[in-house]
Amino acid sequence: MPPAPSAIRAVRKSAKLTQAQAAETVSVALSTWRKWEAGTHRMPSASFEMFRLKTQSKIQGEK
Residue whose C-alpha is closest to residue 35's, from 2, 3, 5: 5
Cα separation of the two ends of the chain: 31
Question: What range defines the domain where residue 11 resides?
Answer: 5-59
Q: What CATH number should be reported for the domain holding residue 22?
A: 1.10.260
pLDDT tens, position by position, 46-59: 999 999 999 986 77
Q: What is the pTM for the complete model shown?
A: 0.88
Total domains in the fold of the chain: 1
pLDDT band at 61 (very low <50, low <70, confident <90, very high): low
DSSP per position, 15-33: TT--HHHHHHHTT--HHHH
